[in-house]
Amino acid sequence: ITPAAMTIVFLGITIGTIMTMSSSNWLMAWIGLELNMLAILPIISKPKTTRASEATTKYFLTQAIASAMMLLSSTINVWQTGSWSILELKNKFSTTIMALSLMMKMGAAPIHFWLPEVLQGTTLQTALLITTWQKIAPVTLMYMISNNIQPTILVSAGILSMIVGGLGGINQTQLRKMMAYSSINNLGWTITIMAFSPNMALMNIFTYIIMTTPIFLMMTNMSTKTLQNLSTTWTTSMTMTLSIALLMLSTSGLPPFTGFMPKMLILNELISQKLTTLATLAI
């Protein structure tokens, strides 16, 4: 891809996300997400391998289905309320479909199947883009409609994402797949608290983005793609290996690292809402 084409692609990704975040109309939000999706496809398919082509196809199909679900949801809502406004999503059926479509866009369980495969089939830089920037627009939309979504749906999907993310990453040797399951687990925390404190959910996802970015950048710098590679990097750069280890502990929410702070606040909020069982499950 030429520099001019790359500039247009990255411009498309940026404008698409900003358009979705700043719109108050479902059609404009949908257009922003579509622009974002179409712009990232050339980046995923940039490595000329069968794996990259497969990852691009999987990403396109899942995002297209999620977009179709978004349109269906907003159209049903317009029939009921006569308004395209994002804040006017009152119909229960529409709200449920919309919540599922946004979860599919983000890669939260139970519609997470595409995320580990897509990340494994692409480069580390693209994996970074998918796990961080691509989540901002759907999380913003979920934040805007969080008052209308039934808490049961959010909590169920959140707990399931935590379980899938936690168990799925155990048996992995590929770092990109591990980071994908880490992303699913973190989304579980974000979605669970979205039902009770949307501002805390935003804080959690942005803390995750800040922690994940340097991990991917260091892995790119050291060209490490498997745990085996990572275990031998201390011979070349001990500082970077130690930094990755500490950042990974932080991402997993281990005290006294930064990643523990949002999780502690989320657990505190769940307990104060008299949801002690849910807090215990989350731990």
- Interval 80-105 mean pLDDT: 93
Q: Which residues of 55-91 are buried (b: 16+ CB within 10 A; e: fewer)?
A: bbebbbebbeebbebbeebbebbbeeeeebebebbeb
Query: How far apart are alpha carbons 237 and 279 in whole angstroms?
Result: 39
- pLDDT tens for 3-20 read 899 999 999 999 999 999
Global pTM value: 0.94
How many other CB atoms sit within 10 Å of the CB of residue 226?
A: 14
Query: How far apart are alpha carbons 267 and 91 in whole angstroms?
Result: 30
Q: How confident is the model at residue 282 (pLDDT cuts 50, 70, 90)?
A: low
Query: How far apart are alpha carbons 26 and 71 in whole angstroms?
Result: 8
Domain borders along the chain are 3-282
Query: How far apart are alpha carbons 150 and 263 in whole angstroms?
Result: 22
Query: How far apart are alpha carbons 27 and 48 in whole angstroms?
Result: 34
Query: How far apart are alpha carbons 20 and 67 in whole angstroms?
Result: 13
- Interval 20-29 mean pLDDT: 94
